[in-house]
Amino acid sequence: MGSLHEGHLSLIRESKKSCDVTIVSIFVNPTQFAPSEDFRSYPRNVEKDSALLIKEGVDYLFIPSVEEIYPKNFQTFVNVEIVTNKLEGEFRPTHFRGVATVVLILLNCVKPNFAFFGQKDAQQLMVIKQMIRDLKVDVKIVGCPIVRESDGLAMSSRNVYLLPKERKEAVVLYQSLELAKKLISSNERRVGIILSEMKELYSITTYTDLDYLKIVEAESFEIIDELIKGKDYFVLVACKIGKTRLIDNTLVSV
């Protein structure tokens, strides 16, 4: 959606390793924002983004208008069931309907062989992969690692909203995920204990308001109560820091 940072640029670099031609789309998608969310104020800087893309050697930049993507009398939306009904779907009920719809439209416009998405939006990545499988879309979805600031905060276009005191405290998301990894590596398998220890970190903060802390099975995104050896899991967090809502996750193997 533009306002590019190193996380986005890492996707471009992965594309350039694998592909002869790299195309970037920039489109702030209105259908994935609820009326109370930040669509109008979402950071936009096409001039700066274009300069970054030229520097990275991107071949084409596709910047469609809202009217081009959603012309008059637009009526068709993509609903991915089950995986969208929890976590982000619970807090943002219309979000994934908008995401799935616009991603399919953009893929149909560009017709790429590969499409690169960051792991920071882990549930979104799962939703897109499900849609691609179910609708037999001829593209390979490539998930890429989270890129972080020097103190561990996941890079996000929304980080610019944070006040200095909030930015300092926002590192608690990363710290809580690192604590979960430490507990799991020391053979803690009870999810309730892991989440309780993580919540302790948030209880001593000033500006944070947790939406959720969850652990899900990586393949199915099923919320689980106990970790099983030989499986992969996402530890997920969504949290408001002041007025800014941030998400983060880490992938762990047991």
Catalytic residue among 2, 4, 7, 8: 8
What is the location of CATH 3.40.50.620 in the chain? 6-144
Residue 62's SS3 state is strand
Q: How confident is the model at residue 125 (pLDDT cuts 50, 70, 90)?
A: very high
**What proportions of the chain, in percent to the nearest 5, are helix, strand and coil?**
40, 20, 40
- Kindly report the average pLDDT of the chain as a whole number: 96
CA pair distance 120, 125, nearest whole angstrom: 9
Q: Between vectors from CA 121 to CA 137 and to CA 98, what angle results, nearest 5°?
A: 55
Of all residues in the chain, the percent with pLDDT exceeding 70 is 100
DSSP 153: P
pLDDT confidence of residue 251:
97
| Other CB atoms within 10 A of residue 145 CB | 12
Question: What's the rounded mean pLDDT across residues 67-82?
Answer: 97
pLDDT confidence of residue 36:
80
Condensed to tens digits (0 to 9), the pLDDT of residues 3-45 reads 899 999 999 999 999 999 999 999 999 999 988 888 888 888 9
The residue among 128, 140, 118 whose CA lies nearest residue 13 is 118
The residue among 242, 40, 51 whose CA lies nearest residue 159 is 242
pLDDT confidence of residue 60:
98
157: region left, alpha or beta (phi > 0 left; psi from -120 to 50 alpha): alpha
| Other CB atoms within 10 A of residue 90 CB | 12
Q: Any catalytic annotation for residue 8?
A: yes
Q: Tokens 């149909």 sit at which residue?
A: 108
pLDDT confidence of residue 104:
98
Q: Tokens 């309907």 sit at which residue?
A: 97
Condensed to tens digits (0 to 9), the pLDDT of residues 144-178 reads 999 999 999 999 999 999 999 999 999 999 999 99
Q: How confident is the model at residue 212 (pLDDT cuts 50, 70, 90)?
A: very high
Architecture of domain 6-144: 3-Layer(aba) Sandwich (3.40)
What is the location of CATH 3.30.1300.10 in the chain? 159-253
Q: Tokens 């993507």 sit at which residue?
A: 69
Token pair of 119, please? 């792991």
pLDDT confidence of residue 198:
98
pLDDT confidence of residue 75:
97
- Of 3.30.1300.10, 1.10.10.10, 3.20.10.10, 3.90.1150.10, which CATH number belongs to 159-253? 3.30.1300.10
pLDDT tops 90 at residue 209: yes
pLDDT tops 90 at residue 85: yes
- Model pTM? 0.93
pLDDT confidence of residue 42:
85
Question: What's the rounded mean pLDDT across residues 206-231?
Answer: 96
pLDDT tops 90 at residue 61: yes
